[in-house]
Amino acid sequence: MERFYLTTAIDYVNGAPHIGHAYEKIISDIIVRHYKQRVDNVYMLTGTDEHGIKIQKTAKDLGTTPKELCDKNAQSFKDAWALLDINYDKFIRTTDDYHEKCVQKIFEKLLEKGDIYKHSYTGLYCSGCECFLNPKDLDENGNCPIHGKKPDKVSEENYFFKLTKYKDAIIKHIKENPDFIRPYFRANEVLNQLENIEDISVSRPTSNVNWGISVLSDFEQVIYVWIDALSNYITALGYDVDGCHGELFKKYWPVDVHMIGKDILKFHSIYWIGILMALGVELPKSIYAHGWIMINKDKMSKSTGNVISPKTVMDSFELKEPDALRYFMAVTALNGRDGNYSDEEFKERVNADLANNFGNLLNRTLNMLVKYFDGEILPQHIEESELTYKVKSTVRSVKKYFDEYDAASAGLEIINLADAANKYIAERAPWTLAKEGKIEECGKVLYAILDTMAALSVLIKPYCPNISDRVAKQLKIDNNVKLDEIASCAIKQGKLISKEEIEPVFLRLDSEFADKK
Ligand code: MSP
């Protein structure tokens, strides 16, 4: 693999970012940072989805224009991602001029091809999903199963995309490519949905919705949300319907993974694939549907009033950097399952894993190095230990989990390595060795731990870049190496640290932060 391209879902801007949106961007950023430790050319795309009835209505309710609402909220998403150290390469807004023009051309191409046709239609429209629902998909009360609301009955003339034409080819592709939909258990769900698939509406008359991209050949219709939104993944790279693609498209398409929530898997694994097939564009290598973040086990929703923003979490714990929240988010939901956020769980988890398990270990070991060896690494202490083998196997399994885009299991594997180092120090008890005069053995144990921490600073870097830097600074190692360059005995002989230079890498949440105020 020479290059890696990841996209996130683009968020609706009718509200502010919450920790569900943040979860997706955090795990995406962690995956991207991990791949930077493996390949040189890595690209991450994120952005905002700005057209549609929801934005139009929200703007009206707020007494503002859709464009003003989009500008304000797109900025609040950018601010949130800056706060969380999300290192995307490009932020696309579906109101960007180049995107709108390209979407219009895509639409015209599909029209010319006969894959889009006009049709009078009466259907049930869910503005939460921004799509028509099949009556078979409604729950027993006739509500949208995702948004819990009754869809609107709408009669209008729309353009339709001939999705049914591609049904068999999509089924074949999913069956022949087991890595296409991840995690694996989601593929059956999609195959079942494909059974009932119908052609999909891709435009709305301007008499009903005007906040959208106009159909070039029919100004009475606007291109509707999904064809507009999904196309961002290629328009951002400079896709051109006539084949004069930009350099980024040539370099990065097909995408390695579309990272999205489970609620929008159908749009990505069925609609988007049909559109790409119709355009004759290569298909994504995989689509990863992550689970949902619940709040105290409840679904987050405006009506329940339990929507939490990443900034609220950062402010209430007085966090000066996002490492703890990034780590917690990454490990709270295992491979595609739902996760949970509560202040209590957050505090307990990061205190246990980052402060006790990880930070204290480094702190104790460095203090012993100062106490017994004046902070110096002696040549006779430098050797591989049983922990060296554990480091190697951890690197292997971390890579394996990231091959499946499972940032949670990889994160736990990394913390397990810190656990193993803690057990090692407890068993070898270097303080007893020193007391018994076994000073050389004591030095070797301390070295084994510190060298493991050096590897850990590289492994944990995608999750906690600031903590990683503090570890690397104290161990005087380079944490910018590729994963395969993690070497045993990376810490060199000579003076490593003095008492004054030892600093905690992570302060426990609550008490110390509160005390420091
Ligand atoms: N605009 C569409 C996506 C278009 S992609 C071409 C959309 N926007 S959204 O704002 O509703 O959601 C954006 C992403 O956030 C989706 O992947 C969605 O699954 C995810 N999440 C929204 N709430 C979430 C949680 N509570 N937990 C985790 N992710 C959730 O859908």
Ligand 1: which residue has its CA nearest to atom 26? 20
Catalytic residue among 90, 162, 299, 347: 299
Determine whether 250 is an active site residue: no
Is 34 in the active site? no
pLDDT-based confidence at residue 70 (cuts at 50, 70, 90): very high
Catalytic residue selected from 51, 54, 70, 126: 126
C-alpha 261 – ligand 1 centre gap (Å): 6
How far, in Å, CA of 444 to CA of 377, rounded? Answer: 9
Residue 126 known to be catalytic: yes
Which atom of ligand 1 is closest in space to residue 230's alpha carbon?
Answer: 6
Handedness of CA 126, 129, 130, 135 (dihedral sign): negative
Structure tokens, 489: 């005995």
**Which tens digit of pLDDT belongs to each residue from 439-481?**
999 999 999 999 999 999 999 999 999 999 999 999 999 999 9
Q: Tell me the C-alpha distance between 328 and 323, whole Å.
A: 9
Q: Give the bridge partners for 45, in sequence order.
A: 7, 90
For residue 201, how many C-alpha atoms fall within 13 Å in the half-sphere facing its CB? 26
List residues bridging with 221 in a β-sheet: 205
Q: Ligand 1 centroid to 12 CA: how many Å?
A: 8
Instruction: Give, for 215, the enclosing helix (H) or strand (E).
Output: strand 213-215
Residue pair 440/432 in contact by the 8 Å Cβ criterion: no
Q: Is there a contact between 204 and 156 (Cβ–Cβ < 8 Å)?
A: yes
Q: In the structure, what pLDDT confidence band is assigned to residue 121 with cuts at 50, 70 and 90? A: confident
Distance CA 45, CA 255 (A): 10
Categorize the per-residue pLDDT at 1 as very low, low, confident or very high, splitting at 50, 70 and 90.
Answer: low
Q: Which residues of 221-234 are buried (b: 16+ CB within 10 A; e: fewer)?
A: bbbbbbbbbbbbbb
Average pLDDT over residues 341-348: 96
3-state class percentages of the chain: helix first, strand second, coil last, to nearest 5: 50, 15, 35
Residue 381 has pLDDT above 70, yes or no: yes
512 pLDDT exceeds 50? no
274 burial (CB, 10 Å; 0-12 / 13-18 / 19+) is: buried
Helix (H) or strand (E) holding 328: helix 323-332
Q: 31 burial class (0-12, 13-18, 19+ CB within 10 angstroms)?
A: buried
Q: How many whole angstroms separate alpha carbon 129 and alpha carbon 226?
A: 10
Average pLDDT of every residue of the chain: 95
Which residues lie across from 377 on neighbouring strands? 494
Q: Which CATH number fits domain 342-501: 3.80.10.10, 1.10.730.10, 2.130.10.10, 3.90.1150.10?
A: 1.10.730.10
300, 18 Cβ separation under 8 angstroms:
yes
**What integer is the mean pLDDT of 405-422?**
98
Assess whether 99 carries a catalytic annotation. no
The closest-lying atom of ligand 1 relative to the alpha carbon of residue 49 is: 1
State pLDDT tens for residues 20-34: 999 999 999 999 999
Count CB-CB contacts under 10 A for residue 396. Answer: 12
What is the atom index within ligand 1 of the atom nearest the CA of 261?
Answer: 19
Is residue 461 annotated as part of the catalytic site, yes or no? no
Q: How far apart are CA 382 and CA 388, in angstroms?
A: 12
CB-CB neighbours of 301 under 10 Å: 13
Supply the residue whose CA is at minimum distance from atom 13 of ligand 1.
11
Atom of ligand 1 nearest to the CA of 11: 10
197 three-class SS: coil
Sequence length of the chain is: 517
Joined together, the tokens standing for residue 226 give: 């999904």
Name, in order, each residue with C-beta under 8 angstroms of 53's C-beta and a sequence gap of 6 or more.
Answer: 127, 130, 204, 209, 211
**Residue labelled with tokens 């949300």:** 225
Instruction: Give kind and range of the element (H or E) at residue 54.
Output: helix 53-62
pLDDT given for residue 224 in this prediction: 84
pLDDT of residue 297: 84
**Least trusted range by pLDDT, from 202-211, 257-266, 376-385:** 202-211
CA pair distance 452, 488, nearest whole angstrom: 8
Pocket test for ligand 1, best of 264, 267, 275, 337 (most atoms within 8 A of CB): 264
Backbone angles phi, psi at 204, to 5 degrees: -135, 150
Catalytic annotation, pick one of 90, 109, 147, 476: 147
Selecting among 70, 102, 131, 144, the annotated active-site residue is 144
Pick the catalytic residue: 136, 153, 297, 302?
Answer: 302
| Beta carbons of 354 and 323 less than 8 angstroms apart | yes
Pocket test for ligand 1, best of 8, 21, 81 (most atoms within 8 A of CB): 21
Residue 464 is a catalytic residue: no
Element (DSSP H or E) covering residue 403 = helix 386-403
* Ligand 1 first shell, C-beta below 6 A: 9-12, 20-21, 23-24, 49, 229-230, 260-261, 263-264, 292-293, 300
Between the CA of 292 and the centroid of ligand 1 the distance, in Å, is: 9
Report yes or no: 298 and 304 within 8 Å, Cβ to Cβ.
yes
Annotated catalytic residue 258: no
Distance CA 206, CA 213 (A): 10
How many A from CA of 510 to the centre of ligand 1? 31
Provide, rounded to the nearest whole percent, the portion of the chain with pLDDT above 70. Answer: 98
Nearest to 415 by CA among 324, 480, 334, 354: 354
| Closest approach atom of ligand 1 to CA 263 | 19
Q: Picking from 108-117, 382-391, 505-514, which range would have the lowest pLDDT averaged per residue?
A: 505-514
Q: Band the pLDDT of 286: cuts 50, 70, 90.
A: very high
Compute φ and ψ for 50, nearest 5 degrees: -110, -5
